[in-house]
Amino acid sequence: MPAIFGQILVGAVLLAVVALAVRSLWKTHKSGGHCTGNCGSCKHCRK
Amino acid sequence: MRTLKDAKVGETVTVLRLRGEGAVKRRIMDMGITKGVEIAVRKVAPLGDPMELNLRGYELSVRKADAEMIEIA
Amino acid sequence: MGNWPGVTVEKKEGRLRGRKDVVIQDLPGIYSLSPYTLEEVVARDYLVGEKPDAILNIVDGTNIERNLYLTTQLIELGLPVVVAVNMMDLVRRNGDEIDLEKLGQALGCQVVSMSALKGEGGMAAAEKAVEAAVAGRAGELPHVFTGSVEHAVAHIEESVSGMVDAGYLRWYAIKLFERDEKVMESLRISPELADHLEAHIADCEAELDDDAESIVTNQRYAYIHGVVSRAVKKKAAAHSLTASDRIDRIVTNRVLALPIFAGIMFLIYAIAMGGWSVSIGTRGTDWANDVLFGEWVPGLFHSILTGVGVAEGTWLYGLIQDGIVAGVGAVLGFVPQILVLCFLLAILEDVGYMARVAFIMDRIFRRFGLSGKSFIPMLVATGCGVPGIMASRTIEQDRDRRMTIMTTGFIPCGAKMPIIGLFAGAVFGNSPLVAVSAFMIGIAAVVISGIMLKKFRIFAGEPAPFVMELPAYHAPAPGNVLRATWERGWSFIRRAGTVILLSSIILWFLMGYGFEGGSFGAVEDMNNSLLAAVGSAVAWIFYPLGWVGENAWKLTCATITGLIAKEEVVNFFGIAFNYAGEADLMEDASGLYPAIAAAFTGLNAYSFMIFNLLCAPCFAAMGAIKREMNNAKWTVGAIGYMCGFAYVVSMIVYQIGGLFTGETTFGVFTAVALVLLAGIIYLLVRKGYQGEAVRNLRSVSAAGI
């Protein structure tokens, strides 16, 4: 197998991982953070 | 007028009246310190404040500053 | 909907096992439906606004009187209520009897028994709640109050009957009788109607010689007392000592409490953080750093990468190994320590000792605007700030928790030790005073910040009466402890996979790439990297701190790399000062001493050290701050405050210290430093924000909802 395919494969996996990380951050951001159970720090609770 | 702050450890006292108003008073009442309830003063924390009370079958800790709002017989 | 006691369980929505159509919403634990704390307002907004089909109210059977107080308020909402009396195993063991049927009749709702600890009755209680929801009919509302109050409430009900949902009528009427401002606002009561209601309320108050709120609370408790004395047979006399009280006589004893507390804290520190053979946490983390992320994972990635044709030395290999694996690995290495620590704290919390910690330490910490419980985060932070900040979760009061999060990062953590060691060795002739002073500065920073910040309105605004229940001790429930441990550990791992991953990649790029020989690409000499360019561009900011001369950018860049992990500062100096030795700089940095000694004077070394000890913590800790604050503004505010405070302190030390050592002459920045020093002293001694007289705050609207 030529090295170039391996490099493309690794690059693709890397890109996917980074995309997932960004998506996860974005989703957390959108939903106003996790709920920690203390309402003082919660955007939903504060309305 | 004697307040809960002056009560001695080991003493059992009856609440006459609560001073003040608003959040702190309501919180104290919500925890069961109401007119006529019997409170046993269990102990005072090692550094002299807060104090530990026993009332309505459970243990409660109150700062002396808040205990001052509770008038007792 | 239920309110489960136990370990601080996060507010959650879930589905009943086996019944996909049933949604259970867990609300924060509350004592009342008053308008004064955020949790209570949230809970009642949910109960009134979202109209759940049924309420499952879980009460503590060992403390039934106080618990039924909330129950009477829930019943008034007119929703179907099922009361589950929890901890029935303990009730029986105490020799007490609770007549569930009598209780049910008196309250006008279904009462079942359960024991969460033994896993008994929970499902049955949930099933009952589902049945009640399907039936959709609330029981007959019990008449809790005496004649004149019921009379006034009936009048109020009549006056507002068209304005509210019929089911909630009694609840609204009682709230109006209490003059609940939140309810008055939400109903937009007209002035005429308000006057009319006020006449009824005032009549009743005059008759009973008390204010309406007190009347309602008193009568509620009087009613409950009657119900309980009929339905509950207590074996022991009132105020008698239970087993838990006997334990407490020793544990919170005036003389023994502090030694026992110190012993328990030392034990936790020893097991999770210390450097001994019993220190499972440290050993786990050492193993993870040296073996797992030192050899195994890089080895695994090496064979995979070379296996598919990504050779060592290519940029892709470098990015993955030096950037991601090294960066994420450095953070994940802390997982064993964090799990051990969270496990121990979860046990303390579940057993009931946490409340005692607050009881014992409250006197000291509240002077600094912190809580008695702030001690634990601070202690843990001497090992690592991340679990320290996470440990602040156990502090209920918002104000105290925020303040604790903001100040915990000032405590010198384990990763700052190499920095202290480097300067102590290179510049201060290995004086032990350097390390001691670093700790003192950390503690002083906590105390000074606490005293300054607590006077600001944003911290002083929320009334925080310290009226705290001391729950009865009980054996820890393995399920609760493990769940709490896992939830905290997982949130840390998750962060390593997102924030840390991305910042590692960015920093790897900044350090390895730049313009060299007229073209952009990977750089041989780090002096040509983008990071060096950034460092040089912003180095002027630190000029007043004494970071001057040709090495200024190195100090700036070292500080930036310190954001990955504080020990990176030492590694960076190794690279920047062309250290050629073989020794691991974390273990032995003495080879670096001559270069450091030549580049620093005593004073700017100290200024640099202080800044790095106090400024923004590493990315992992910043992530923890964000997670615990759960609010962008507070996160930025906390980190900004830390950087600002570090900057000011370093500047004061350098500028004013320089006058004594002769390193600086009196100039603009000396004047600025003096002004800042005066400012800090002013903030320390000034009278704090007193407006609205904390004690008389009418409702949480001031808390900024």
Nearest to C630 among A2, A18, A41 (CB): A41
pLDDT tops 60 at residue C513: yes
Beta carbons within 8 Å of C85's beta carbon, 6+ residues apart: C59, C61, C64, C91, C98, C100, C103, C111, C112, C113, C114
Question: How high is the pLDDT of residue A1?
Answer: 57
Report the C-alpha gap between C466 and C183 in whole angstroms: 26
Report the C-alpha gap between C178 and C213 in whole angstroms: 5
Beta carbons within 8 Å of C499's beta carbon, 6+ residues apart: A25, C619, C623
Amino acid found at C39: E
Question: How high is the pLDDT of residue B66?
Answer: 87
Enclosing H/E stretch for B40: strand B38-44
Distance from CA of C345 to the nearest CA of A (A): 17
CB C74 within 8 A of CB C142: no
On average, the pLDDT of chain C sits at 84
Which positions in chain B touch C472 (Cβ < 8 Å)? 58-59
Beta carbons within 8 Å of C636's beta carbon, 6+ residues apart: none
CB atoms < 10 A from the CB of B41, how many?
22
- Quick check: C38 and A9 CB within 8 A? no
The string of DSSP codes covering C200-226 is HHHHHHHHHTS-HHHHHHHHHHHHHHH
Any idea which residue has 């600001």 for tokens?
C456
Q: Is C398 on the interface with A (CB under 8 A)?
A: yes
For residue B55, the chain C residue with the least C-alpha distance is C239
Question: pLDDT-derived band of residue C465, with 50, 70 and 90 as boundaries?
Answer: low
pLDDT digits (tens, 9 = 90+) for C205-263: 999 888 899 999 999 999 999 999 999 888 887 788 888 888 998 999 889 999 999 99
- Quick check: C214 and B34 CB within 8 A? yes
Q: Look at phi and psi of residue C413 and say left if phi exceeds 0, alpha if psi is from -120 to 50, else beta.
A: beta
Question: pLDDT-derived band of residue C689, with 50, 70 and 90 as boundaries?
Answer: low
Question: How high is the pLDDT of residue C624?
Answer: 86
What is the number of helices (H) and of strands (E) in chain A?
Answer: 2, 0
- Quick check: C11 and A2 CB within 8 A? no
Beta carbons within 8 Å of C213's beta carbon, 6+ residues apart: B21, B25, B26, B29, C178, C179
Tokens at C378, concatenated: 């601070």
Distance from CA of C38 to the nearest CA of A (A): 6
- Of B35, B41, B39, B34, nearest in space to B8 by CA: B41
B residues 13-72 lying closer than 8 A (beta carbon) to C: 18, 20-32, 34-38, 40, 42-50, 52, 54, 56-63, 66
For residue C696, the chain B residue with the least C-alpha distance is B22
Question: pLDDT-derived band of residue C123, with 50, 70 and 90 as boundaries?
Answer: confident
CB-count exposure of residue C573 (10 Å: 0-12, 13-18, 19+):
buried
> Furthest-apart CA pair in chain A: how many Å?
57
What does the pLDDT average to over C378-402?
A: 81
Question: How high is the pLDDT of residue C32?
Answer: 86
CB C424 within 8 A of CB C430: yes
Cα dihedral C123/C125/C127/C133 (nearest 10)? -150
**Half-sphere CA count of C87, side-chain side, radius 13 A:** 23
Distance from CA of C50 to the nearest CA of B (A): 25
A abuts B (3+ Cβ pairs < 8 Å): no
pLDDT tops 70 at residue A45: no
Q: What are phi and psi of C471, to 5 degrees?
A: -65, 150
pLDDT digits (tens, 9 = 90+) for C49-82: 888 888 899 898 888 999 999 999 999 888 889 9
Question: How high is the pLDDT of residue A40?
Answer: 44
Q: How far is CA C476 from CA C392, C482, C484, C680, in A?
A: 20, 10, 12, 45
Beta carbons within 8 Å of C269's beta carbon, 6+ residues apart: C379, C380, C382, C383
pLDDT tops 50 at residue A35: no
Q: How many residues does chain B have?
A: 73
- Quick check: B30 and C31 CB within 8 A? yes
pLDDT tops 50 at residue C177: yes
C199-221 in b/e form (b: 16+ CB < 10 A) is ebbeebbeebebebbbbbbbbbb
> Furthest-apart CA pair in chain C: how many Å?
94
pLDDT digits (tens, 9 = 90+) for C555-586: 998 898 888 778 778 878 887 787 766 667 77
pLDDT tops 90 at residue C638: yes
Instruction: Tell me the domains of chain B and their CATH numbers.
Output: 4-72 (2.30.30.90)
Any idea which residue has 């290519």 for tokens?
C314
Terminal Cα-to-Cα distance of chain C (whole angstroms): 24
- Quick check: B27 and C217 CB within 8 A? no
Beta carbons within 8 Å of C70's beta carbon, 6+ residues apart: C30, C31, C32, C33, C57, C59
For residue B66, the chain C residue with the least C-alpha distance is C465
Q: How many residues does chain A have?
A: 47
What does the pLDDT average to over C464-481?
A: 82
Q: What's the complex ipTM?
A: 0.94
Question: How high is the pLDDT of residue C610?
Answer: 94
Cα dihedral C345/C351/C353/C355 (nearest 10)? 100
CB-count exposure of residue C37 (10 Å: 0-12, 13-18, 19+):
buried
Amino acid found at C203: D
Report the C-alpha gap between C507 and C333 in whole angstroms: 19
The string of DSSP codes covering C286-320 is HHIIIIIIIIIHHHHHHHHHHHTT--TTSHHHHII
Tokens at C650, concatenated: 């370093």
C abuts A (3+ Cβ pairs < 8 Å): yes
What does the pLDDT average to over C485-505?
A: 79
> Furthest-apart CA pair in chain B: how many Å?
30
CB-count exposure of residue C112 (10 Å: 0-12, 13-18, 19+):
buried
- Quick check: A39 and C494 CB within 8 A? no
The string of DSSP codes covering C347-408 is HHHHHTHHHHHHHHHHHHHGGGT--GGGHHHHHHHTT-HHHHHHHGGG--SHHHHHHHHHHH
Nearest to C308 among A10, A18, A34 (CB): A10
Question: How high is the pLDDT of residue C216?
Answer: 93
Which positions in chain B touch C71 (Cβ < 8 Å)? none
Question: How high is the pLDDT of residue B14?
Answer: 95
Question: pLDDT-derived band of residue B71, with 50, 70 and 90 as boundaries?
Answer: very high
Chains in contact with A, counting 3 or more C-beta pairs less than 8 Å apart as contact: C
Question: How high is the pLDDT of residue C397?
Answer: 74
| Beta-carbon contacts below 8 Å between A and C | 93
Which positions in chain B touch C67 (Cβ < 8 Å)? none
- Quick check: A22 and C704 CB within 8 A? no
- Quick check: C628 and A47 CB within 8 A? no
- Of C233, C215, C216, nearest in space to C64 by CA: C233
- Quick check: A36 and C10 CB within 8 A? yes
Question: How high is the pLDDT of residue C269?
Answer: 80
Which positions in chain C touch B11 (Cβ < 8 Å)? none
pLDDT digits (tens, 9 = 90+) for C27-41: 767 888 887 766 677
What does the pLDDT average to over C534-543?
A: 90
Q: What is the DSSP letter of C444?
A: H
Distance from CA of B31 to the nearest CA of C (A): 7
Report the DSSP beta bridge partners of residue B55: B58
C142 or C701, greater pLDDT: C142
Report the C-alpha gap between C536 and C534 in whole angstroms: 5
pTM here is 0.80
Beta carbons within 8 Å of C110's beta carbon, 6+ residues apart: C81, C82, C83, C104, C128, C132
- Quick check: C218 and B34 CB within 8 A? yes
Angle between helices C668-685 and C432-453 in degrees, nearest 10? 60
pLDDT digits (tens, 9 = 90+) for B8-46: 999 999 999 898 877 778 888 999 999 999 999 999 999
Q: Look at phi and psi of residue C91 and say left if phi exceeds 0, alpha if psi is from -120 to 50, else beta.
A: alpha
Distance from CA of B4 to the nearest CA of C (A): 14
pLDDT digits (tens, 9 = 90+) for C607-635: 999 999 999 888 888 988 988 887 889 99
Which positions in chain C touch B50 (Cβ < 8 Å)? 359, 362-363, 466
Report the C-alpha gap between C484 and C347 in whole angstroms: 9
pLDDT tops 70 at residue C697: no
Distance from CA of B11 to the nearest CA of C (A): 11
Q: Is C502 on the interface with A (CB under 8 A)?
A: yes
Question: How high is the pLDDT of residue C38?
Answer: 65
What does the pLDDT average to over C360-375?
A: 85
Question: pLDDT-derived band of residue C17, with 50, 70 and 90 as boundaries?
Answer: confident
Q: How far is CA C642 from CA C138, C145, C377, C493, C683, in A?
A: 53, 53, 17, 25, 16
- Quick check: B40 and C362 CB within 8 A? no
What does the pLDDT average to over C466-486?
A: 84
C residues 466-495 lying closer than 8 A (beta carbon) to A: 491, 494
What is the number of helices (H) and of strands (E) in chain B?
Answer: 2, 5
